[in-house]
Amino acid sequence: MKLGDAVGAALNDRVMRMVRLGGGDVAEAYRVELASGAVVFSKTHREPPSGFFSTEAAGLRWLREANVIPVPDVLASSDGDEATPPMLVLEWIAESAQDPDEDAFGTALARLHRSGAAAFGRQDRRSTGSRGLPNDPSDSWSEFYATQRLIPLARLIRDAEHLDDGLSSRIERVAGDIDAVAGPPEPPARLHGDLWAGNRLVDIAGQSWLVDPACFGGHREFDLAMMRLFGGFGEAAFRSYDEVYPLADGWEPRIPLHQLAPLAVHAIKFGGGYLVGLDRALRAVGA
């Protein structure tokens, strides 16, 4: 079954037009116009990993159920079978080029994090991200970050022919000394998990929406560090966040620690300048 037919069948409607959208290095995305007059967003994947779209759909629903920050409604999802292509169908968000309300976004993100998670990790133990990183539940952030992020990434770096094994050893050193650098204990936060500016949509009212999550229960500083990594978020967002849910002392010096995981993923995928960033972050945490 073609994607358009599958979307129409899932929504009990008929697809009149599909327009391919740009962006994204994994999935093919479309604006879909239906006979009923509705417009939806849909994406598919030629060779998705196991559980690819159902995991993303579960993450979107998990963020949405906190009811504190806009998240598109999941209208349909499939991991693909003999009859149906892999797909995810979401409500359409009309984007704009206007500046987002950063104060409102920071406040909403603080409330999302504060809504919490059952554990560090995921109760369904599903992997997330392009590298399929594990999310087995852990009792503490330091345990989770060491065993479910840093050590698996160190192994992937060691297996990558274009990367220096020395990077792997340095990451393992950080994992072994994690309790000394992870900061004070905190309860698990409800994380987006891949919070760079490209995964925030700004609608015509200037309101921010979260998309493309890699959700898990984790330390809230992880999302904030990801926001700092590639830019695109105003300082007002961080100020309003701290007013609603004050951050622990020393959170900014810990940013490089939390950036190790996304920098390692990008170094594995792309090499280049990400190797410089990874080396700099490792030096910042003493490795």
20 found inside a domain: yes
Q: Encode pLDDT of 121-166 as tens digits.
A: 999 999 998 888 999 999 999 999 999 999 999 999 999 988 888 9
Last residue of a domain, one of 68, 91, 114: 91
Residue 14's domain comprises: 3-91
Is 249 within a domain? yes
Kindly state whether residues 238 and 142 are assigned to the same domain.
Answer: yes
On whether residue 115 sits in a domain, the answer given is yes
Q: Are residues 138 and 29 in the same domain?
A: no
240 in the same domain as 118: yes
* Domain match, 187 and 162 both: yes
pLDDT score recorded for residue 27: 85
pLDDT in tens, 96-128: 988 999 999 999 999 999 999 999 999 999 999
Whether residue 153 is contained in a domain is answered as yes
Q: Is the same domain home to 233 and 155?
A: yes
The count of structural domains within the chain is: 2
Q: Is residue 97 part of a domain?
A: no
Contact between 223 and 106 (Cβ < 8 Å):
no
CA gap 220, 193 in Å, rounded: 9
Residue 255 covered by a domain: yes
Instruction: State whether 45 and 77 are in the same domain.
Output: yes
Residues 109 and 48 in one domain: no
Closest by alpha carbon to 63, among 172, 195, 259? 195
| Catalytic site includes residue 164 | no
Residues 83, 113: one domain?
Answer: no
Q: Which candidate in 79, 101, 194, 223 is catalytic?
A: 194
**Judgement on whether residues 237 and 280 belong to the same structural domain of the protein:** yes
- 200-205 LR contacts (CB < 8 Å, sep 24+): 200/100, 200/105, 200/232, 200/233, 201/93, 201/95, 202/95, 202/96, 202/98, 202/99, 202/100, 203/70, 203/93, 203/94, 203/95, 203/96, 204/94, 204/95, 204/96, 204/98
- My answer on whether 169 and 200 are in the same domain is yes
- Residue 33 inside a domain? The answer is yes
Are 149 and 51 part of one and the same domain? no
Does 96 map to a domain?
A: no
**Residue ranges for the chain with pLDDT beneath 50:** none
Whole-model pTM? 0.95
Count Cβ atoms below 10 Å from residue 168 Cβ, excluding itself: 20
Q: What is the CATH number of the domain that holds 258?
A: 3.90.1200.10
Q: Which of 91, 124, 147 is the last residue of a domain?
A: 91
Q: Could you tell me which of 227, 253, 261, 281 has the C-alpha nearest to residue 110? A: 227
Residue 25: its pLDDT value, please?
Answer: 64
CATH number at residue 80: 3.30.200.20
Q: Are both 58 and 114 inside the same structural domain?
A: no
Give the residue from 91, 111, 140 where a domain finishes.
91
Q: CB–CB of 123/215 below 8 Å?
A: no
Residues in the chain: 287
